[in-house]
Amino acid sequence: MSASDRGKVLFIDLTSGSIEDVILEERFYCDFIGGVGLGVRILYERMKPNVDPLGHDNILGFVTGLLTGTPVPATPRYMVVAKSPLTGTWGDANTGGYFGHELRAAGYSAVFFSGISPKPVYLWLNDGSAELRDAAHLWGKETYETGEILCQELGDQGVRVTCIGPAGESLSLLASVMNDVGDAAGRSGLGAVMGSKRLKAIAVRGKGKVPAADRQCLNALRKSFLEGIDTYSRLKKYGTLEETVEDITLGIAGIKNWGLLGAEAFPNYAKFDCDELINKYEIEKRTCWGCPIVCKGTFRIEKGPYAVDKTPKTEYETFAAFGPMCFNDDIESIIQAGDICNRYGIDTISTGTVIAFAMECYENGIIGKKETDGIELTWGNASAMLAMLGKIVRREGFGAVLADGTKRASERIGRGSEKWAMHVRGQEPGFQDARFWPGRGLIYSCDPTPGRHTAGILPVATTRRRNIAPYPELQFPKVDLLDYQAVGPLHATGSNYYQFINACGFCLFACGYAPMPTADYVSAVTGWDFTMPDGLKAGRRIQTLRQAFNTREGLHPDDFRLPERISKPSMAGQFAGKQIDFGALRDSFYKAMDWDTESGWPSEAALRELGLTELVGPDRSKAVKK
């Protein structure tokens, strides 16, 4: 595959309306693969440090994975990148569906936006041509409606759209970027960046085919994948929904704003039984482009106060956010909450957490009905939860206090509420307790995008003992998860692998169930003589440049801290009563990555080995030490 087969990279200045397209040299792809890798390579070079995330100088990128658009199974994903307004750190969020494939089919590898448009616009990409168009008629519209209007006015139901909803327009720092029907690049507040640029949507249509260097090899790999498809039968049937009861009962999911854990603390957990939910609400199966696993679905609630005609199947994180976190066991209210988040374009993890935070403030008399606009925000009060969600997505009344996440909300409310604000540097963590899986705690507090639950694969590969890839470098030994010296290097390998598969466009779910020959797929598509050590090195390069982005911003490792409530000994789960030393874990991980444990800056030796010296300069650790 030549560099031109990768397609064009667009650079659009929204202030002037200028559009430039370039073909990157093949070495960019060899070194940074695609997706997040290409995103961080471009942003590090083109963006100055310390820019205002909602200002002219932030760059917002939509970058397809290296394999996106090819017949490689489960590779539909593209990455949205920018400096995060939520955390002030490197920001990225990835999503599946059909949009990434369409971008490749239209002849594009990536689109980067800088500047701020004087009026709302959308970008129309039509088989190799690019045009900014007026979006005044779309401003204020929900995400599904935006997609429908664009398909209609462009006269083609095959047009794929990624857009923001009203939450992004009102610059909620929890806003997501949404594509197709309910696929969310939810984290890092990147919908607010899109809103700040007055970019409502990108609509794309392409009729091209993405070439593969060795079609015969690719067909053989795909055939073998399809022969083993039964391995994915549970993922196919349930998606991540399967985890809900297990995670509640084992003490992995937070209950009452992480104040409680375990089955006894949430006695009605059986209502979240995955078979019951699928049987009762699922009306059809859905998939992402070209993915034979088909793990997605559509839910319907036929009648009652929370009736929803069609909504994407609710997944684990959303059930955890609006369920146990808010002490709510009313299933249908949770499904509706997920639907509202999709329509308005807001992240379910952060939004459920900020409502749980407000419920705890209400319980403790820090706020009352006067502050909540008359809403009785008690634990488990489903209608109150939805009423407050409505206010958040419209940034209305007390909703405006909560619309930027728990950190800002606690600063606005004050009166000691900070102790219930569950975030890592502004971002609310996913619902997998750091103390049940200390590797998750590492990810929450050490990944350059803080609070993320998907930035590594250690828990899957160690605790769940799944063989994730057919390569010796990725056979993880059974390990004592409290052996910090052993866990740090394993997490380093896991996070490097994660960056690699992310940059390829692989879906994390698919890569966590069965051994996926990811490096072989890269060879088959590109024609490179590519091995897993090459993949891990590329992943380490990407992870190190993400880290350098943060240290260049002046951020220090201590700026990334787990909330006290999920750092102290747990009351349930496999390490109940044990104090986990997350500082020792962090040091062990940093050493394995060859990052300075004091400053977080990658060592000069690491930068040289990864070929980053020219890009990021010599060791600057002393410049950022505090």
Q: Which residues bind ligand SF4 (CB under 6 A)?
A: 74, 76, 96, 287-288, 291, 293-296, 507, 509-510
What are the residues facing 183 on neighbouring strands?
179
12/181 with CB nearer ligand SF4: 181
Shortest distance, position 232 Cβ to ligand SF4, whole Å: 7
241/562 with CB nearer ligand SF4: 241
Shortest distance, position 399 Cβ to ligand SF4, whole Å: 30
Q: What is the DSSP letter of 2?
A: -
291/612 with CB nearer ligand SF4: 291
Separation of alpha carbons 206 and 100, rounded Å: 11
DSSP string, 460-488: HHTTS-----SSGGG-PPP--TT-HHHHH
Task: Return the residue matching tokens 């787990």.
Answer: 562
SS3 readout for 520-573: HHHHHHHCCCCCHHHHHHHHHHHHHHHHHHHHHCCCCHHHCCCCHHHCCCCCCC
Query: Could you tell me how far CA 354 lies from the centroid of its own chain?
Result: 18
Shortest distance, position 97 Cβ to ligand SF4, whole Å: 8
234/568 with CB nearer ligand SF4: 234
454/544 with CB nearer ligand SF4: 454
Note whether 175 and 189 are within 8 A (CB).
Answer: yes
287/417 with CB nearer ligand SF4: 287
175/288 with CB nearer ligand SF4: 288
Task: Return the residue matching tokens 């559009």.
Answer: 19
Separation of alpha carbons 421 and 528, rounded Å: 48
Shortest distance, position 125 Cβ to ligand SF4, whole Å: 22
76/88 with CB nearer ligand SF4: 76
95/333 with CB nearer ligand SF4: 95
On the 0-12 / 13-18 / 19+ scale of CB atoms within 10 A, 48 is exposed
Separation of alpha carbons 190 and 182, rounded Å: 16
112/238 with CB nearer ligand SF4: 238
Total residues found in the chain within this entry: 626
Shortest distance, position 452 Cβ to ligand SF4, whole Å: 17
SS3 readout for 96-122: CCCHHHHHHHCCEEEEEEECCCCCCEE
Shortest distance, position 42 Cβ to ligand SF4, whole Å: 25
36/356 with CB nearer ligand SF4: 36
Radius of gyration of the chain (CA): 23
Shortest distance, position 186 Cβ to ligand SF4, whole Å: 14
137/234 with CB nearer ligand SF4: 234
Q: Determine phi and psi for 76, rounding to 5 degrees.
A: -85, 0
Nearest CA to 197 out of 168, 174, 173, 172 is that of: 168
Shortest distance, position 234 Cβ to ligand SF4, whole Å: 12
Separation of alpha carbons 524 and 86, rounded Å: 39
Shortest distance, position 288 Cβ to ligand SF4, whole Å: 3
Separation of alpha carbons 480 and 578, rounded Å: 14
Query: Strand 90-95 vs strand 177-179: parallel, antiparallel, or unpaired?
Result: unpaired
Shortest distance, position 433 Cβ to ligand SF4, whole Å: 24
Separation of alpha carbons 474 and 552, rounded Å: 31
Separation of alpha carbons 317 and 431, rounded Å: 6
Query: Strand 183-185 vs strand 177-179: parallel, antiparallel, or unpaired?
Result: antiparallel
Take residue 472 and report the two structure tokens written for it.
Answer: 């010796």
Shortest distance, position 187 Cβ to ligand SF4, whole Å: 16
Shortest distance, position 512 Cβ to ligand SF4, whole Å: 10
Shortest distance, position 509 Cβ to ligand SF4, whole Å: 5
74/386 with CB nearer ligand SF4: 74
Name the amino acid, one letter, at 518.
T
Shortest distance, position 511 Cβ to ligand SF4, whole Å: 9
Name the amino acid, one letter, at 145.
E
79/293 with CB nearer ligand SF4: 293
SS3 readout for 260-272: ECCHHHCCCHHHH
Note whether 362 and 377 are within 8 A (CB).
Answer: yes
What are the residues facing 126 on neighbouring strands?
129, 205
Nearest-10 Cα torsion for 204, 207, 210, 215: 150
Longest pairwise C-alpha distance within the chain: 68
For residue 389, give Cα distances in angstroms to 167, 303, 342, 402, 403: 11, 21, 12, 9, 9
Shortest distance, position 297 Cβ to ligand SF4, whole Å: 10
274/367 with CB nearer ligand SF4: 274
Name the amino acid, one letter, at 532.
M
90/289 with CB nearer ligand SF4: 289
Other beta carbons less than 10 A from residue 276's beta carbon = 13
Shortest distance, position 295 Cβ to ligand SF4, whole Å: 3
